[in-house]
Structure formats: C-alpha cells, structure tokens
C-alpha cells in the first residue's frame, strides 16, 4: 500500500508555504506511519487535514466543485489572503516499500473567473539514474499536454507518450487517465487519493438507527455504525464476534458488545455494562463510549484505508482513556495493515504516548502564515525527552515554544 513521505502546500488558507516530511528525494525526512499535529487554535491543523480532503474532492468532483464546498467558500476564500499565485500541492509518496518515490504536483488557479487545474505533473526517478530530474508520466498545463504509458521508466517503453487534451480543465488529468490500464502509475495515484479518509465522528449521528443495508466502511460521522457491522458480519462471520469482543475489552465498564436484528432488519448494537441485567443500546450510550467504540471499529476495518485523518479524538473522552487510544493508534500504525494516520490534538495526555519524530508543532508566524516544525528537530525537546520526560508534559510546560511565536 502507498505511503505519503511528505507534502508541500502553498497558498491554501493559512498554509502560505509549508512542508512536512520529505518533499523531494534529497530534501527532508520521510513521514512516519503515525503523524500528530499540535499547536494553538488557528495555527492551521484543521486546515492541513482539510487540504487532504480538498485534494480528494478535486479528484472525485473536480476543482471547481471542491473549491465551492460550503465550508470552503470558493477559490478566493481558499487562497491565502494577500497572495496572487496558484494554490499548489506537492505529494511525495511511495507505492510500496520497494518502489521508487513518485512526485505529484498540482497547481490550481483562476481562468476566466473559474478555478481550473492549471498544472499537473507526475514524475518518478529512473533506477539507473542517481541524479537529474525524475522521468515524467504526466505533464499537463490547463488540461493539455502529454502522458507516458507503461510501467517502466527505462528504455524504449518509457518513450511512449500520447497527447492529452481534456475538454474540461476543472477536471484533473489523473481522474480521467486514472481509469486506463495503460497508465498504471496514474491509476495507482488515483486509487491512493480516493482511499483517503477523514473522520469527523459525531456521537449524535452514531446514536441513530439507519435503514438496513450493509456498507463496506464507516462513514465520516459514524452514522452508519449498524450498516458497517452488518457488512462485517456478512463478509467476515468467523471473526465478527471476535472483533466485538476485542473492542469491548478496551472500553471501561463494558463487559461485552453484541448485535441483534430488529423486525425491520436493522442491526441493534447492545452494550452490556457491569452491574446491569439488561443491555443498553447505542441511543443510550455516552458520547465518549460511542466515539471510542467507533475509533476502535475503524481500526478493525478488514479493507483499511491508506491514509486516515482524525481531528481532536480527545473530545468527549475521559482523560485517562487518551493514552489508551493513542496506544491503539500507534499499534495500528506499527502493524501490517499499512494505514498512515494523521491526528490533530490539543491533549498533552495523548501526546505523552508519542515520540518526537511523530509530532509536528504548528504555530502562527508574527508576520502571517504558520510554521510547521518536527519536535525531534527542537534540540531542547529532544534532549529532555531522551531523559524520560514525556512529550506532552514538555508541551504543557511550554518547552516547545522556542521561536517566539504564539504559544499553545
């Protein structure tokens, strides 16, 4: 499964020009499987997660529709105030642990008042070359250019190219070409971005009983918990109850979780609590229990997402559960399921479970924009953490605010 090694974002709201991880073959350090973003309100943490959602929306719906989502408000509100260049992204990722990294660059700008894909470039370095520019597999400007077919970057096969002229410049080239088997790298990039998942679990949504019907994944709010469990029961009957037992064991006060069908075939989730003879249903459970239940089920997905973004998982959770949840996230990232996690948090207790090379500090710059710094690159933090002081405690005691920016 593909893994993001680094990303650069320019002119996207508060993200005037930021880089995290490795953004070129000789620039930066690979992002780990678990990435945590911390910092004060307004420092761009939510914006960075939304940038992933924006790219996925550009792929699925087109650039114009992605810009005009109600929570974004159009291109002019998305572009950093006072800036006049395009909104630009650079993804540096690897399709598999043994594959050479691939660079995908996208620039979005206005043409006749409409946002379009002004530039798209997809490159990969040849194995036989240690220096020089990576080989292009896609190179478009305003919807026109060339695409190179085949899997190889070497020899005659790599020279095969076709002219591309999209009839709608608001659509990405990788959307169209990503459906053609002659362009396997573009197909892989499309599938990778389409697989990104941003979680915004809402306890009230999880309390609802949706109509019957199995659904392959949890939706963003958790409103389809029953549908997702129906899918697990249908496709993995041998491990369905084992999954529920494993999840229940990690929720304080819950002895077991079981499911039964209502007369109209909806799935009723029953929480059996210690000290009570009768079970409680999801409509009666606390916000924290439902959120923890949903997060743990997300980690049990038999067809895991390549990239998952989770915003402030601590909301509604008892503080002593944050370390448990953080450990679950880390175990998942260390396992064989290959999901890369991006989490934002304001909770030092959650950060205590993490290492400095997993945490990035986002802060407002005095002159506008934000900075993003890996905490492992802050000398005093690295030294104090090596002495056994947890990272969250260092953050709480303001050891991370070294550069004179606004504190957390």
Task: Give the model confidence (pLDDT) of 306-328 as tens digits.
Answer: 999 999 999 888 888 898 899 99
* pLDDT at residue 407, rounded to an integer: 44
Structure tokens at 357: 């090379």
Query: Which pLDDT does position 135 carry in this prediction?
Result: 79
CA distance 101 to 303: 24
SS3 301: coil
200-234 per-position pLDDT tens digit: 899 999 998 889 899 999 999 999 999 999 999 99
Q: Residue 40 above 70 pLDDT?
A: yes
Average predicted confidence (pLDDT) for the chain: 89
Q: Sign (positive/negative) of CA torsion 264, 297, 312, 4?
A: negative
Number of residues written out for the chain: 408
Residues of the chain with CATH 3.40.50: 3-30+44-195
With H, G, I as helix, E, B as strand and everything else as coil, classify residue 287: helix
Sign of CA dihedral 365, 370, 371, 374: positive
First-to-last alpha carbon distance for the chain, in angstroms, is 35
Q: In the structure, what pLDDT confidence band is assigned to residue 130 with cuts at 50, 70 and 90?
A: low
In sequence order, what are the residues at sequence separation of 6 or more whose Cβ sits closer than 8 angstroms to the Cβ of residue 84?
Answer: none
Q: What is the mean pLDDT of residues 116-137?
A: 79
pLDDT tens-digit readout, 379-400: 888 899 999 999 999 999 888 7
CATH class, domain 3-30+44-195, is alpha beta
Q: Is 227 exposed, middle or buried (0-12, 13-18, 19+ CB in 10 A)?
A: buried
Distance CA 234, CA 267 (A): 12
CB contact at 8 A, 371 and 72: no
What's the pTM?
A: 0.91
Token pair, residue 22, equals: 């490795």
């Amino acid at each position: 499964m593909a893994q993001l090694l680094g990303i650069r974002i320019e002119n996207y709201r508060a993200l005037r020009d930021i880089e995290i991880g490795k953004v070129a073959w000789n620039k930066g350090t690979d992002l780990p499987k678990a990435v945590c973003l911390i910092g004060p309100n307004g420092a761009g943490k939510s914006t960075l997660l939304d940038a992933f959602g924006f790219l996925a929306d550009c792929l699925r719906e087109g650039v114009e529709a992605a810009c005009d989502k109600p929570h974004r408000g159009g291109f002019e509100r998305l572009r950093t105030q006072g800036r006049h260049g395009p909104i630009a992204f650079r993804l540096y990722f690897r399709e598999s642990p043994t594959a050479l990294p691939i660079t995908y660059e996208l620039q979005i700008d206005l043409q006749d008042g409409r946002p379009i894909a002004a530039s798209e470039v997809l490159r990969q370095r040849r194995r036989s070359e240690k220096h020089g520019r990576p080989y292009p597999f896609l190179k478009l400007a305003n919807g026109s250019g060339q695409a190179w077919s085949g899997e190889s970057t070497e020899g005659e096969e790599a020279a095969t190219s076709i002219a591309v002229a999209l009839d709608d410049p608001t659509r990405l080239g990788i959307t169209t070409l990503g459906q053609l088997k002659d362009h396997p790298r573009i197909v892989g990039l499309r599938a990778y971005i389409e697989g990104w998942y941003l979680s915004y679990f809402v306890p009230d949504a999880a309390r609802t009983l949706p109509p019957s019907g199995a659904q392959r994944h949890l939706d963003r709010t958790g409103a389809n918990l029953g549908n997702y469990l129906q899918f697990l029961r249908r496709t993995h009957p041998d491990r369905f109850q084992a999954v529920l037992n494993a999840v229940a064991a990690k929720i304080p006060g819950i002895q077991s979780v079981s499911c039964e069908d209502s007369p109209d075939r909806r799935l009723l989730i029953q929480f059996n609590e210690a000290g009570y003879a009768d079970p409680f249903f999801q409509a009666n459970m606390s916000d924290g229990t439902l959120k923890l239940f949903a997060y743990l089920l997300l980690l049990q997905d038999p067809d895991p997402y390549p990239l998952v973004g989770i915003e402030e998982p601590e909301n509604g959770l008892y503080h002593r559960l944050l370390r448990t949840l953080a450990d679950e996230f880390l175990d998942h990232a260390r396992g064989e399921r290959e999901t890369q996690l991006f989490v934002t948090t304001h909770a030092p207790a959650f950060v205590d479970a993490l290492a400095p090379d997993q945490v990035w500090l986002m802060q407002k710059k005095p002159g506008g924009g934000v900075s993003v710094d890996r905490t492992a690159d802050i000398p005093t933090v690295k030294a104090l953490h090596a002495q056994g002081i947890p990272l969250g405690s260092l953050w709480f005691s303001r050891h991370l605010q070294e550069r004179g920016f606004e504190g957390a």
